[in-house]
Structures are given as C-alpha cells and as structure tokens.
Chains A and B, each alone.
Chain A
Amino acid sequence: MNRFCCWLVDLLSRPLAPDERDAVRGDFAESGESAGQALRGLIGLVVRRQIALWRDWRPWMAPVGLVAPVALVLSQSSSGPSGALWIGWQLRTIWTHGVRYEAGLSPTDDIVTLFCAVLLPIVWAGSGGFVLGFLSRRNAWVHPALLFPLLWLFGTLLRALLPGRLHAALFWLLPPVVLILIPFLWGVHLGVRGVALQVGRTAWLAGAIAILTLVMQVEDGRSRLAFAAWSSGGALDGRLVWIPRLLPFAAILWQFGFIFTTTRFKESDT
C-alpha cells in the first residue's frame, strides 16, 4: 500500500473502536493485502458496524435532543433570536444616529437582554449536542441530525463566496457559528467521550438556564409592551410582564433530566 492508501485506510477506520482499528490494520499489514482489497474489506466492516449501531434505540432518540434546543433557539418562541435582533437594532440605531432607540426600555433592559441572548443559545446548543453525542456515540459524527447544521453552514459559506456578499454573509454567519454551532459541536464531542457531569453541577446549570429563560421571556414581554405603548403615543410604565411560554422549560426538563439520569447511572456503575 502506498502512503495515500495508508492515509485513506487510517481515515476510514476511525469510526471503529481503537482496539479493533489496531487489529484490522495489523491484519492488513501482516497479510500484505493490496490497497483495493484492504479498502474494500475495511469499508465492508465499517458499514456492518454502523448498521449494528443503528439497531439500537438510542441513535433514533438523539434527534429529539437536538431538535428541541435548536428549534427553540431558532424559533421566535425562544427568546434568543428576538433578543439578539433587538440588540442588533439598538446597536444599529446608536451607530446611525448616535443615540439609543427610546421605546421606554432602560439601558439595564438592554444589558440584561444582551447577556441572556448571548448565553442562552450557547447553553441550549451545548446541551443539545451533548445529548446527541451521548446517545449516538460512535455514529454521532455521521448522524443525519448533525448534517443539518453542517449543511446550513456549508450553504452559508457558499453564499458568502458570491461576489459582493462576503461582508453581509459573514455578518449574519458569525453570531450563529459562535453562539450555536461551536457550542453544539463541543457538546457532541463531550457526549461522544461520555463525559459525566456531577449531579450538583447539572442541577445548578439547569436552574441557571431556567432562570435565564424566565428573565429573557420577561424582557421579551417588556419590549413588546414598550413598542405597543410607543406606537400609541404612550410610555412603558415600568411593570414586569411575563407571558408564559412553557415549551423551553419542558425542553430544559427533558435535556437535563436525561443528563442527570446518565450521570446517576455512571456513578452507580463506578
């Protein structure tokens, strides 16, 4: 086998368990197989292994761990994008006119909204990726659920390469990559490695996310009310408004319930 074939065999054998990878590559070296035979045999083994992994129920459950957070973060029902848009609008107004947009909200409202809009997508995407990686393990990196964000990134990059659109595309690409994609892939990485979070830390994190979500929903309600008041010539009276949207809390319960359960199992195993 030449160096390219060796590299290809090394690449293709990555989905295999480390011991099996060593044994198979050793068998190829010992039996002096041609590159074609080795590649054919290896692809056959990898395909058989992948099929065996998909017979388990866990990879099928994994998209639920992904779809819940990403859908919530990306949809208007979640506070992330609407908060981010609001901040983007404020920054644009300051950049253009030198003053912030006065709809009755205080600078504290803006800071709280910005804080939550940045932090919430990161933790949502990270925990979703963790659930996906933990459930799918060795087939996580070839899971169709993982292909959606990667295809989206690829499509946006392609659009960015069109003449004259690079700046605009990068402007819209950067926040989702930093706030969603990177934390999500990091979560998948931790999940695949089977990293166990401590129970106390898991509960603390779930509580913190629930509070952040609640604060963001309140700020979202306040900004809507401020706009309505401003449009009718009035002003916001400073009260707190909370229009309950329970879906994000249900998703927190599912994700952290899952992480909590796996942590407990890991602790009882050791």
Chain B
Amino acid sequence: MLGEFEYLLLTATAHLGADAYGAAMRQDMEATTGRRCSIGALYTTLDRLEAKGFVKTWMGDPTPQRGGRPKRMVRVTAKGIQAAADFYGAVTRASRGVAWEAHRAGVRP
C-alpha cells in the first residue's frame, strides 16, 4: 500500500509524462496540493518508489537554464500504475458516504 506522499508523487509523474523530473514534479505537487514540497522529501521518496519498482529514474541531458546540470528523469512503471490505482480505489471506497465526499459536503455536520 502506498503512502499519501508516494501517491501524490506518482500522480505528478503521470501528469507530466515525458517531462517528469525533480523541479517540474515539485511545481506540479505544490500547485495541486497548495503545500510546499521539500527537495529532501521528494528525492528520498523517489528512491523508495524506485526500490519498490514503482518508478524508473535516469539522468537526462544537461540544459543551459539549469546551469548545464542534468535532470533526474522519472517514469511510472506498470507496477507503479497498479499500485496507484489500488490506492485510489481504496481511498474512493473508503470515502463513500462521508461528509466530505463530492456533492455531499454540508449534508452531515
């Protein structure tokens, strides 16, 4: 079972597709959640996801706007997609009938 942050990271990677790398993923996650994402949490979680086989990472080409330094590119694996789908399914099932579910907000105190 994934953790919340792991799920958000997988989602950001899937959103960005072929352009998924550290800085872009941080921007995506911060825009989505409205919370700050530390670089330490990002890279250590990426390592953990890679160790579990949920993502694959490799070093990309250096670019001038990065001071000639390469990007760490990320791609979600089939196993990662399955894990994210399982997490999403579990959260959706667990959220049925609760006050904060879509269209039911404010129904119950």
Contacts and interface: CB of A to CB of B under 8 A. Distances in A.
For chain B, which range describes its interface: under 10, 10 to 19, 20 to 34, or 35 or more residues?
Answer: 20 to 34
A126 B24 CA distance: 46
A41 B72 contact: no
Q: Which of B21, B40, B59, B70 has the most CB of A within 10 A?
A: B40
B66 A48 contact: no
A20 B22 CA distance: 10
A118 to B, nearest CB: 46
Given A19-B59, A19-B72, A25 B41 contact: no
A241 interface: no
Contacts of A25: 67, 69
A27 B44 contact: no
B39 A41 contact: yes
A29 B39 contact: no
B95 interface: no
A83 B63 CA distance: 61
A26 interface: yes
A44 interface: yes
B27 interface: yes
B44 A45 contact: yes
Contacts of B21: 23
Contacts of B63: 26, 30
A44 B38 CA distance: 8
A26 B71 contact: yes
Given A41-B39, A44-B40, A45-B39, A29 B67 contact: yes
Interface residues of A, number: 22
A49 to B, nearest CB: 7
B65 interface: yes
A114 to B, nearest CB: 52
A33 B65 CA distance: 13
A26 B69 contact: yes
A31 B67 contact: no
Given A19-B59, A30-B65, A41-B38, A24 B43 contact: yes
Given A24-B39, A26-B71, 10 more contacts: A19-B72, A24-B43, A26-B22, A26-B63, A26-B66, A27-B26, A30-B63, A41-B39, A45-B40, A48-B41
Across the A-B interface, give the 9 residue pairs with the lowest CB-CB distance, nearest first. Answer: A26-B69, A44-B40, A26-B66, A45-B40, A23-B72, A41-B39, A27-B23, A29-B67, A27-B22
